[in-house]
């Protein structure tokens, strides 16, 4: 029955997009090939009357998505982090997508909590509230712990949400496969990969244990950050479908007047938000990828509190170093170095001209640095940067796209608190500190020691590995060549030399 169900769901989807006027907008945003546009319009127009009406006060695409339900809302949110797929304009619309749905009854939530935690709700909580927030996947209640009286937030998945998402995911996969079959030119949009990426994000959010784990890891990483706090998960009251955390009490960061009224310095908070994000991304390689106004509060003591850890970003150590060097190069207006970093990282094909690339980067940076401080935008620069690198053959890197989109959101939060903030001056101390600690001589020695330690793990096996390699080279099916033996012997010599250097360095340190 999967085929008929998917076809019906796609017809209803196409009809809704057609009825709300979203079909044309969406197809133009992704620059869909003419053949695909024709097929979509033909499939949507006759069934227009079957489509959901949606909220006429919303823009066409967000109107259609919210009318189609939770899976589509979440899909829109994920696509907002992929301007490489949907374009900058549509990504901006999707980024502010309303993620609010009617709540389900509190009694249903209580029954689910009791079933999940195998204890009556009244034994665990008192003052259990009506929903304080209702989103596409879950809703949140406030309560007090029966054992300590502490205020907590209890997040509960929507009933049958897993089944609903699996049903729509099946339809998304079916649609992606159909699109690629009908229009080979559309493969540049990578519809199958986009759906797989979405599936990975959603499956993680449908297991609240993973969000609790993300919160725990983020709290551990940021424990030493002054002026920043992360609510801790309460593991004994959490499960796959229920997550209990410390309550985040404070003023919404989206209300500058209330923050001032509470006696806090909005300028200092605006700078702190930006510097914290950069610090988490560069120092830890693990950052909150959904730092909008609704997920940030200012506590009574002035701390910035982050919550809702459904979307987290990760970048490896090498990528962090590349990103820091790119930022520092722009801060110093050293476009040649920025170009070299792109080539060294392999982001731009080696057959391109580094001098031409440096000139293109200058065309990106100089107009921005010529602006007044209130108009200097790191987010805008990163967007322009990705446009230039695409022209020079740079392949899309999902982790950098997510980083860029989060930078846009964080910059928006900072400017809402302090419109005159100079993004570059605020970012410079964080970037310079990271570069001092990770790109200088001490960092090189640390990297060497780490490499030697890894080689040391293989030390006891080196003779065996060397013997096996030599035997393979000596096998009749592959006559050994002197240079091959020399290569293997050379590798072994280098490995032993590194081991010796590592021991020496270790003694010095």
Q: Which of the pair, 406 or 500, is modelled with greater confidence?
A: 406
Lowest mean pLDDT, pick from 43-47, 51-55, 209-213, 281-285 = 43-47
Specify burial of residue 295 (Cβ count, 10 A radius: 0-12, 13-18, 19+): buried
Nearest to residue 154, comparing CAs of 115, 122, 128? 128
Q: What is the mean pLDDT of residues 12-29?
A: 79
Encoding tokens for residue 354? 């580094």
pLDDT average, residue stretch 44-48: 71
Does position 217 have pLDDT exceeding 90, yes or no? yes
With bands split at pLDDT 50, 70 and 90, how would you rate the model's confidence at 3? low
Q: Higher-confidence residue: 245 or 24?
A: 245
Cα separation, 70 vs 124, in Å, equals 30
Residue 347 pLDDT more than 60? yes
Q: Give me the residue spans of the domains in the chain.
A: 2-99+165-203, 105-157+207-247, 249-439, 441-508
Maximum Cα interatomic distance, the chain, rounded to a whole number of Å = 83
Round to whole Å and give the CA distance between 152 and 145: 7
Which one of the listed residues 84, 290, 303, 308 is annotated catalytic?
Answer: 290
State pLDDT tens for residues 453-493.
666 666 677 677 777 777 777 666 545 444 444 343 333 33
What local confidence, expressed as pLDDT, does residue 440 receive?
62
pLDDT digits (tens, 9 = 90+) for 404-446: 778 878 888 888 898 888 777 888 888 888 888 877 666 667 6
Q: What is the mean pLDDT of residues 271-287?
A: 93
Residue 65 has pLDDT above 90, yes or no: no
| Mean pLDDT of the residues in the chain | 78
Question: How far apart, in whole angstroms, are the C-alpha atoms of residue 120 and residue 107?
Answer: 12
Comparing 92 with 239, the larger pLDDT belongs to 239
Residue bearing the bigger pLDDT, 347 or 502: 347
**DSSP-based three-state secondary structure for 494:** helix
Region 235-247 average pLDDT: 95
**3-state secondary structure labels for all residues of 76-99:** HHHHCCCHHHHCHHHHHHHHCCCC
- What mean pLDDT do residues 340-366 have? 86
DSSP secondary-structure letter at 45? Answer: G
pLDDT of residue 27: 75
Q: For domain 105-157+207-247, give the CATH superfamily.
A: Phosphorylase Kinase; domain 1 (3.30.200.20)
134 with 103: CB under 8 angstroms?
yes
Residue 188 — very low, low, confident or very high, per pLDDT cuts 50/70/90?
low
Question: Which comes out higher in pLDDT, residue 364 or 258?
Answer: 258
Active site residue 372: no
* pLDDT score recorded for residue 112: 95
d(CA 504, CA 25) in angstroms, rounded, equals 64
At 63, the pLDDT band (50, 70, 90 cuts) reads: confident
Asked whether the predicted pLDDT for residue 145 surpasses 50, the reply is yes
Mean pLDDT for 31-38 is 70
Tokens describing residue 146: 């029966």
Sign of the dihedral defined by the CA atoms of residues 186, 192, 195, 196, in that order = negative
Q: What is the mean pLDDT of residues 250-262?
A: 92
290-346 residue pLDDT tens: 888 888 999 999 999 999 898 888 888 888 888 888 878 887 888 999 889 888 888
Mean pLDDT for 189-205 is 73
Taking the C-alpha atoms of residue 84 and residue 87, their distance in angstroms, rounded to an integer, is 6
The model's pTM: 0.71
Tell me what pLDDT residue 376 has.
Answer: 62
Q: What is the pLDDT of residue 123?
A: 93
Residue 19 has pLDDT above 70, yes or no: yes
Query: Phi/psi of residue 334, each to 5°?
Result: -100, 80
The predicted pLDDT at position 419 comes to 85
Nearest C-alpha neighbor of 498 from the set 431, 450, 429, 442: 450
């Amino acid at each position: 029955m999967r085929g008929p169900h998917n076809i019906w769901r796609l017809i209803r989807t196409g009809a809704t997009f057609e009825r709300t006027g979203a079909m044309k907008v969406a197809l133009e945003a992704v620059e869909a090939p003419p053949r695909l546009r024709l097929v979509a319009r033909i499939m949507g127009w006759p069934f227009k009357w079957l489509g959901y009406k949606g909220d006429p006060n919303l823009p066409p695409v967000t109107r259609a998505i919210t009318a189609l339900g939770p899976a589509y809302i979440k899909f829109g949110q994920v696509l907002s982090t992929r301007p490489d797929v949907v374009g900058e304009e549509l990504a901006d619309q999707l980024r502010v997508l309303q993620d609010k749905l009617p709540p389900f009854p509190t009694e249903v939530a209580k029954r689910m909590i009791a079933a999940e935690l195998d204890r009556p709700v009244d034994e665990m909580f008192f003052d259990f509230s009506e929903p304080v927030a209702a989103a596409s996947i879950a809703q949140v209640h406030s309560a007090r712990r029966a054992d300590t009286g502490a205020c907590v937030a209890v997040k509960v998945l929507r009933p049958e949400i897993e089944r609903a998402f699996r049903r729509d995911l099946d339809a998304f996969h079916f649609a992606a496969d159909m699109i690629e079959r009908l229009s080979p030119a559309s493969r540049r949009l990578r519809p199958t990969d986009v759906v797989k990426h979405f599936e990975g994000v959603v499956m993680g959010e449908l297991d609240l244990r993973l969000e609790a784990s993300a919160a725990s890891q983020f709290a551990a990483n940021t424990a030493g950050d002054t002026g920043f706090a992360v609510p801790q998960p309460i593991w004994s009251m959490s499960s796959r479908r229920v997550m209990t955390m410390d309550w985040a009490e404070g003023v919404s960061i989206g209300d500058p007047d209330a923050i001032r009224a509470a006696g806090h310095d909005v300028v200092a908070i605006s700078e702190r938000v930006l510097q914290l994000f950069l610090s988490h991304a560069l120092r830890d390689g693990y950052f909150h990828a959904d730092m909008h106004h609704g997920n940030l509060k200012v506590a009574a003591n002035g701390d910035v509190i982050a919550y809702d850890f459904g979307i987290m970003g990760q970048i490896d150590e090498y990528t962090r170093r590349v990103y820091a060097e790119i930022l520092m190069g722009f801060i110093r207006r050293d476009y040649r170095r920025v170009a070299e970093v792109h080539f060294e990282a392999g982001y731009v094909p080696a057959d391109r001209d580094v001098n031409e690339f440096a000139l293109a980067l200058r065309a990106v940076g100089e107009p921005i640095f010529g602006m007044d401080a209130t108009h200097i935008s790191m987010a805008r620069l990163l967007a322009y940067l990705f446009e230039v690198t695409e022209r020079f053959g740079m392949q899309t890197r999902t982790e950098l796209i997510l980083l860029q989109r989060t930078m846009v959101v964080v910059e928006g939060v900072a400017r809402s608190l302090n419109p005159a903030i100079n993004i570059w001056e605020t970012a410079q101390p964080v970037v310079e500190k990271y570069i001092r600690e990770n790109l200088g001589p001490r960092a090189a020695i640390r990297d060497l020691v780490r490499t030697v330690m890894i080689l040391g793990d293989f030390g006891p096996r080196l003779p065996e590995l060397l013997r096996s390699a030599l035997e393979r080279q000596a096998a009749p099916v592959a006559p050994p060549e002197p240079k091959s033996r020399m290569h293997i012997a050379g590798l072994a010599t280098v490995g032993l030399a590194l081991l010796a250097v590592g021991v020496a360095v270790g003694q010095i340190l």
